[in-house]
């Protein structure tokens, strides 16, 4: 196993493998993406999108193989056996580190359709991978300050339109739409500044999830609610590459989505918006308790 190597050497090797794997699969991805770009027709898209997704899935599979070789402790994963690789899913997860994305991809790869994330606009400029996200139709969302939104409320419509266009593309082939409801990575400082009522989570933001449900809620088979816990502390990406992740626990729940969420008007109906917030708050209370239970059980080991 690669985990026996010194951490720094292992980190360098892991980073090299990640870069080489990314460059190889992205070269294929960009070649076929060019066809879709030059022939922007529905008939071409419905044939090319599944192929592009398969290329991205192969990239994830290769990453997952060497991820398993660098971990000193096996991951504890629960709730994935009943997932089915068909249809559309809305996926929700707590967010602590860049490592979360690789954990989600490894745990859910080939169990449900490929995950498509809502990304910050700035991430499109990440070398190579930013262009890959664009080629795979990941939606890029602009972040506006509260002050900017107060000055120009129409800015809210930009993200709604971005979500609507993205969901139109997602509806063509089975897709898992991924959302980090907290909107940012958890830190103690952010938790304190928010005065979050949760012990291990930031306050959830309902907007992106509500927009996705409003745009294509009737297609979603269910909500895949994922809770990731790092009992030994949240690792940085470099610590992960060095095999210094002190345990990973992933709990997956498949939950029904209320039918009204696919037809309600989140932006214009205050009563519907209130019900949606209550539903998400209940989900978040359960997730907070899950994390507390995992940490308490780990302390007893």
Asked if residue 11 is part of any domain, the answer here is no
Reported as a single tens digit per residue, the pLDDT across 101-159 is 999 999 999 999 999 988 878 888 888 888 899 889 888 877 666 666 667 766 666 76
Residue 76 CB neighbour total at 10 angstroms: 15
pLDDT for 75: 93
Looking at 106-110, 198-202, 214-218, which range is the least confident one?
Answer: 214-218
pLDDT for 251: 98
264 vs 13, more confident = 13
Number of structural domains found in the chain: 1
Asked if residue 34 is part of any domain, the answer here is no
Domain hosting 292: range is 74-300
Reported as a single tens digit per residue, the pLDDT across 25-64 is 999 999 999 888 888 888 888 888 999 999 999 999 999 9
pLDDT for 153: 66
- pLDDT over 70 percentage in the chain: 94
Reported as a single tens digit per residue, the pLDDT across 225-244 is 999 999 999 999 999 999 88
Reported as a single tens digit per residue, the pLDDT across 269-301 is 899 999 999 999 999 999 999 999 999 988 877
pLDDT for 145: 60
pLDDT for 94: 97
pLDDT for 291: 97
Asked if residue 268 is part of any domain, the answer here is yes
- Rounding to the nearest 10 degrees, give the CA dihedral for residues 18, 252, 234, 123: 50
What CATH number is associated with residue 245? 3.40.1130
Asked if residue 285 is part of any domain, the answer here is yes
pLDDT for 1: 62
Between CA 104 and CA 107, with CA 106 as vertex, the angle to 5 degrees is: 65
Reported as a single tens digit per residue, the pLDDT across 149-192 is 667 766 666 767 777 777 778 888 889 999 999 989 999 999 99
Asked if residue 204 is part of any domain, the answer here is yes
Asked if residue 229 is part of any domain, the answer here is yes
Q: Which residues pair with 112 in a beta bridge?
A: 109
pLDDT for 42: 80
Is the per-residue pLDDT at 258 higher than 80? yes
Asked if residue 109 is part of any domain, the answer here is yes
Give the side-chain half-sphere CA count within 13 A for 97: 18
Is the per-residue pLDDT at 267 higher than 80? no
Is the per-residue pLDDT at 201 higher than 90? yes
Asked if residue 92 is part of any domain, the answer here is yes
């Amino acid at each position: 196993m690669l985990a026996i190597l010194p951490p720094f050497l292992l980190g360098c090797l892991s980073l090299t493998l990640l870069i080489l794997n990314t460059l190889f699969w992205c070269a294929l991805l960009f070649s076929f993406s060019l066809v879709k770009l030059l022939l922007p027709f529905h008939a071409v898209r419905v044939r090319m999108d599944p192929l592009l997704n398969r290329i991205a899935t192969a990239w994830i599979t290769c990453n997952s193989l060497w991820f398993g070789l660098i971990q000193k402790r096996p991951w504890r994963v629960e709730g994935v056996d009943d997932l089915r690789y068909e249809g559309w899913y809305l996926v929700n997860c707590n967010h602590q580190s860049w490592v979360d994305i690789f954990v989600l991809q490894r745990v859910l790869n080939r169990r449900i359709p490929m995950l498509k994330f809502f990304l910050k606009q700035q991430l499109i400029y990440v070398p190579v991978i930013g262009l890959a996200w664009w080629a795979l139709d990941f939606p890029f969302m602009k972040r506006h300050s509260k002050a900017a939104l107060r000055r120009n409320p129409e800015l809210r419509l930009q993200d709604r339109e971005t979500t609507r266009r993205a969901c139109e593309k997602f509806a063509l082939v089975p897709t898992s739409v991924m959302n980090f409801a907290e909107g940012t990575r958890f830190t103690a400082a952010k938790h304190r500044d928010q005065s979050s009522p949760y012990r291990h989570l930031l306050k959830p933001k309902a907007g992106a999830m509500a927009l996705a449900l409003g745009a294509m809620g009737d297609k979603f088979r269910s909500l895949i609610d994922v809770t990731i816990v790092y009992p030994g502390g949240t690792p940085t990406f470099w610590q992960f590459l060095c095999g210094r992740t002190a345990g990973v626990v992933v709990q997956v729940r498949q939950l029904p989505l209320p039918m009204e969420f696919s037809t309600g008007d989140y932006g214009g109906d205050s009563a519907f918006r209130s019900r949606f917030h209550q539903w998400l708050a209940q989900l978040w209370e359960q997730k907070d308790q899950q994390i507390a239970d995992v940490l308490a059980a780990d302390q007893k080991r």
